[in-house]
């Protein structure tokens, strides 16, 4: 039996089967013990037990009473008041665990309560206080709450992880908390770069269909390029009943070079991307998380043996230039993406794809899984 029957709780207010980071986390946790997951959607394959909560329940205190308490800064009264948090607390009941893993700041208070003194490991993912600080209501109501959560609970955590060193430095400088880096890198995939056709360059983007992700800029950039470029979009629908996807369809119009596909399962994504030539991504630096981004898609693109074109950001710039994976656009505008893509030629793309093939051997989950395995393993009773 894995982990000698040790019991691990993994809390994530997400659809875990669509959350690549949490799925990778679960693979490691399952090596160490019997894992109970709490989250939206069906039981993940690595979980021994899954406690499902209604995906329509918000994980922040977005009820009228909750919003009023946020405005009054009564954070002690709303820590466990969000509808999804209350539902999770109910389904966990009186179960006991040897270690609890909390994904993101909004899960820490509940994790600390249901741990009953067992160690809690917090995977903060990104910089929690300013997750969506470009939205006024978040900045005024939620940012102070998230900052409170971090100040109160991070010192109580047995260990803390985040996605990259730059964001880890924010936690150290502003909150006095040391973190471990577990990047959003996927597993190594034994693939070869696909052939780049002489007559054109096949662009691809994958990710969430969420307003603010700047997918419009990718579409507009390709509409400004000639017929030798195509763009395929593999988008996970947001929680808006398809409204944003409909907006993107309207923007694409009748341009047959730009195709919108249903999402593919996380374990099928890299194989699907491998059919293309260049992975594209552009995100305006609206928040510190955007400015310091190191998203899972750059690792997906590398494992798919693609060239990449990203807008400039310190962490992604370092990977792209260090491994000669592609080209960095000057900013996040459609014009910068268009001009950067227009300057590419087929031979350059072939060279970048060969470099991605080399980089794939080091830019994968192997190193990060070892960090997570050791960190959680050290908290389990021996």
**Which CATH number covers residue 87?**
3.40.50.2000
**CA 374 – CA 28 distance, rounded (Å):** 10
The reply to whether 190 falls in a domain is no
Q: How many CB atoms lie under 10 A from the CB of residue 76?
A: 11
pTM for the complete prediction? Answer: 0.86
Indicate whether 81 and 39 sit together in one domain: yes
Q: State the alpha helices, DSSP H only, in the chain.
A: 20-32, 64-71, 75-78, 83-92, 108-115, 136-137, 143-153, 165-175, 215-223, 243-252, 266-273, 288-291, 296-303, 314-322, 334-342, 346-359, 365-377
**pLDDT band of 2, cuts 50, 70, 90:** low
Name 278's bridge partners. Answer: 203, 307
At CA 292, angle to CA 289 and CA 296, rounded to 5? 80
pLDDT at 211: 83
Reply yes or no on whether the pLDDT at 240 is more than 90: no
Tell me phi and psi for residue 203, to 5 degrees: -90, 150
The reply to whether 196 falls in a domain is no
Number of C-alpha atoms within 13 angstroms, CB side, residue 104? 17
* Of the candidates 15, 36, 13, the residue with the CA atom closest to the CA atom of residue 26: 36
* Of the candidates 237, 316, 251, the residue with the CA atom closest to the CA atom of residue 281: 316
Q: Which residue has the tokens 């209501």?
A: 137
**pLDDT band of 265, cuts 50, 70, 90:** confident
What is the token pair recorded at 151?
């100040």
| Number of domains, the chain | 2
**Mean pLDDT computed over 210-233:** 94
Indicate whether 132 and 225 sit together in one domain: no
- The whole domain housing 166 covers 2-185+365-377
Indicate whether 31 and 159 sit together in one domain: yes
pLDDT tens figures, 64-78? 999 999 999 999 999
Q: Considering the chain, what is the average pLDDT of its residues?
A: 95
Indicate whether 332 and 241 sit together in one domain: yes
**CA 215 – CA 204 distance, rounded (Å):** 11
Q: Tell how far CA 41 is from the center of its chain.
A: 17
The reply to whether 100 falls in a domain is yes
Indicate whether 90 and 222 sit together in one domain: no
Indicate whether 350 and 373 sit together in one domain: no
The reply to whether 289 falls in a domain is yes
**CA 38 – CA 107 distance, rounded (Å):** 10
pLDDT tens figures, 344-373? 999 999 999 999 999 999 999 998 999 999
Q: What SS3 state is found at 52?
A: strand
On whether the CB atoms of residues 103 and 10 are closer than 8 A, the answer is yes
**Mean pLDDT computed over 53-72:** 94
Name 100's bridge partners. Answer: 9, 120
Indicate whether 49 and 168 sit together in one domain: yes
């Amino acid at each position: 039996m894995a982990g000698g029957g040790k019991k691990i709780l993994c809390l994530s207010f997400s659809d875990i089967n669509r959350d690549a980071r949490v799925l990778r986390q679960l693979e490691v946790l399952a090596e160490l013990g019997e894992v109970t997951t709490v989250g939206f959607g069906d039981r993940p394959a690595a979980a021994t037990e899954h406690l499902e909560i209604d995906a329509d329940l918000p994980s922040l205190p977005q009820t009228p009473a909750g919003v009023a308490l946020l405005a009054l800064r009564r954070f002690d009264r709303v820590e466990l008041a969000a509808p999804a948090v209350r539902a999770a607390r109910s389904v966990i009941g009186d179960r006991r665990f040897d270690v609890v893993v909390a994904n993101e700041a909004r899960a820490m208070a509940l994790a600390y309560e249901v741990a009953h003194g067992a160690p809690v490991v917090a995977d903060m993912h990104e910089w929690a206080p300013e997750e969506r600080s470009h939205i006024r209501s978040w900045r005024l109501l939620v940012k102070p709450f998230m900052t409170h959560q971090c100040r109160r609970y991070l010192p109580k955590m047995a260990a803390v992880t985040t996605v990259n060193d730059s964001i880890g430095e924010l936690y150290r400088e502003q909150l006095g908390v040391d973190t471990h880096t577990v990047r959003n890198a996927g597993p190594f995939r034994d693939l070869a770069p696909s052939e780049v056709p002489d007559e054109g360059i096949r662009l691809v983007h994958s990710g969430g269909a969420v307003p603010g992700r700047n997918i419009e800029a990718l579409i507009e950039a390709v509409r400004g390029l000639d017929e030798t470029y195509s763009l395929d979009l593999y988008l996970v629908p947001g929680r808006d009943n398809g409204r944003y996807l409909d907006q993107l369809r309207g923007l694409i119009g009748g341009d047959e070079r730009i195709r919108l596909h249903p999402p593919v399962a996380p374990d099928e994504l890299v194989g699907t991307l491998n059919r293309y030539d260049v992975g594209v991504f552009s995100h305006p630096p609206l928040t510190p998380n955007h400015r310091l981004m190191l998203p899972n898609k750059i690792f997906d693109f590398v494992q798919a043996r693609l060239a990449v074109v990203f807008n400039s950001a310190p962490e992604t710039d370092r990977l792209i230039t260090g491994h000669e994976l592609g080209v960095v656009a000057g900013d996040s505008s459609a014009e910068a993406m268009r001009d950067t893509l227009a300057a590419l030629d087929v031979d350059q793309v072939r060279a970048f794809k060969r470099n991605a093939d080399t980089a794939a051997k080091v830019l994968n989950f192997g190193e990060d899984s070892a960090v997570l395995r050791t960190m959680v393993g050290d908290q389990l009773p021996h």
